[in-house]
Amino acid sequence: MKPSLPSLATLLLTAALTGASAQTAPTTPAAPAQTAPAAPAKPVPAASYVALGDMYFNQGKYDMAYVAYRAAAQLEAQNPRALLGLGRSQTKLRLYGPAIETLRRLISVDATSISGYIALSQAYQQQYVQTSDLASVARNLELAQNVLTQAQTVAQSQTGTDRDLNLSKIWNERGYVYRLQGQITQAIEAFKQANTLNPDNSVVLYNLGDMYYVSGDLPQALNYLQQAVIADPTDPYNRAYYGKLLALSGNVTAARPEAAQAAKLAPTNAYAVGQYGVVSYLAKDPVQARTQLNAALRLDPLRYPEFYYYLGRLNLDANDLKAARDALTRAAALGSTNPEYLYYLGLSFERSNTVSPSDRVKARENYERALKLSPNYKLAQDGLNRVK
């Protein structure tokens, strides 16, 4: 059997990785005069590397996308598509400083690039979220908003259908920044602006529903999540979140098929699978809840502290205190700003059985941590009073 030929993508990526060394390699001796010279190899155009980068980026292969975009940018230093792809891939790889530099360069090359402004704002946001030393990125969210203000000025000068679409993208991104700034009302208003400009966009509808839930307005959250599901029935995130909110509202009859459908649509999506577990717990189906929550945590053990929390609640209900403490400790570690996780962790230490004795010191510590986050949290205050 003949060996298979390498794909075009492999050839291009190999060229990108080895191009620099090839340029400095020694030349071979000149051929005899009577031999016709070989035709010089045709250089690979930057556009081919950009297309390769786009393919890898869309597949989630950000390291390979980075190599391809970098090769394109080296060939054409002012290629807007190369710079945009390079900056985005650098952000995905958490190379935030280089990403910000690349995207600033893009805007200097093409001051009309709405995608460039939005990508730069996202790089500032991600650097803020991922950096443990917040003092070093204290101005990032302000800078993110400033970049969006520049983008808005550009978009407002546009005409045609692109104007409203671009303004919708900018307002949607503003909503994300406002949320990071803790400005819930402003975030809702920003997402409303985005929704007005682009009413059938499921991402914007999801964001509105999410922010109304954060604000404590469950009916409005359900309203917008339902619209998001209608706008894109195949999106597992919309349907899974909608199912959970239905269950939290007490309508478990409607919630269960929505959650089950989300998990069916995306059986390897940890969020969809885990929310089916959450809905099952709220519907008092512990067997299904445990199956789905464990499956979700196998798919992604670090992203969703909520699933450890509900697994801990399941174990607490079953009086398996050791397993409850393990799960709730993970929930509290991954979701350290959630007072409810800390309260139930404290409760698991307050309780005792024949295998796991009570630990009132740890119970008190976690009740106090919960109250520090939420001073009016009555359950935590009652727990603290019990173990003092």
Q: Do residues 319 and 353 touch, judged by C-beta distance below 8 A? A: yes
Mean pLDDT of 268-292: 98
DSSP 257-280: HHHHHHHHH-TT-HHHHHHHHHHH
User: Each residue of 178-215: pLDDT tens digit?
Assistant: 999 999 999 999 999 999 999 999 999 999 999 999 99
- What pLDDT score does 126 carry? 96
User: Each residue of 79-137: pLDDT tens digit?
Assistant: 999 999 999 999 999 999 999 999 999 999 999 999 999 999 999 999 999 988 889 99
Q: What's the chain's Rg over C-alpha atoms? A: 26
- What pLDDT score does 10 carry? 63
DSSP-derived 3-state class of residue 161: helix
Mean pLDDT of 275-286: 98
- What pLDDT score does 75 carry? 96
DSSP 54-118: HHHHHTT-HHHHHHHHHHHHHH-TT-HHHHHHHHHHHHHTT-HHHHHHHHHHHHHH-TT-HHHHH
User: Each residue of 295-351: pLDDT tens digit?
Assistant: 999 999 999 999 999 999 999 999 999 999 999 999 999 999 999 999 999 999 999
Tell me how long the chain is.
388
Q: Do residues 89 and 65 touch, judged by C-beta distance below 8 A? A: yes
Instruction: Flag whether pLDDT at 56 surpasses 60.
Output: yes
- What pLDDT score does 161 carry? 84
Dihedral over Cα of 199, 201, 204, 209: its sign: positive
- What pLDDT score does 329 carry? 98
- What pLDDT score does 36 carry? 61
Here the contacts of 210-216 (C-beta below 8 Å, separation 24 or greater) are: 210/241, 211/175, 211/179, 211/184, 211/187, 212/188, 213/245, 214/179, 214/184, 215/184, 215/185, 215/188
Region of residue 250 (left: phi > 0; alpha: psi -120 to 50; beta: else): left
Q: Do residues 249 and 220 touch, judged by C-beta distance below 8 A? A: no
- What pLDDT score does 132 carry? 83
**pLDDT-derived band at 18, boundaries 50, 70, 90:** low
**pLDDT-derived band at 42, boundaries 50, 70, 90:** confident
**pLDDT-derived band at 163, boundaries 50, 70, 90:** very high
Instruction: Flag whether pLDDT at 177 surpasses 70.
Output: yes
User: Each residue of 104-120: pLDDT tens digit?
Assistant: 999 999 999 999 999 99
**pLDDT-derived band at 165, boundaries 50, 70, 90:** very high
Instruction: Flag whether pLDDT at 158 surpasses 80.
Output: yes
- What pLDDT score does 13 carry? 65
Instruction: Flag whether pLDDT at 44 surpasses 80.
Output: yes
- What pLDDT score does 25 carry? 44
Contacts of 100 (CB under 8 A, 6+ apart): 87, 120, 123, 124, 127
Instruction: Flag whether pLDDT at 23 surpasses 90.
Output: no
d(CA 102, CA 93): 14
- What pLDDT score does 244 carry? 97
Q: Do residues 327 and 294 touch, judged by C-beta distance below 8 A? A: no
d(CA 375, CA 388): 17
Percent of the chain with pLDDT over 70: 89
Q: What's the DSSP call for residue 291?
A: H
Query: Six-digit token pair at 104?
Result: 């600033």
d(CA 102, CA 23): 25
d(CA 92, CA 31): 48
- What pLDDT score does 196 carry? 97
Average model confidence (pLDDT) for the chain?
92
User: Each residue of 200-257: pLDDT tens digit?
Assistant: 999 999 999 999 999 999 999 999 999 999 999 999 999 999 999 999 999 999 999 9
Instruction: Flag whether pLDDT at 73 surpasses 80.
Output: yes
d(CA 58, CA 254): 34
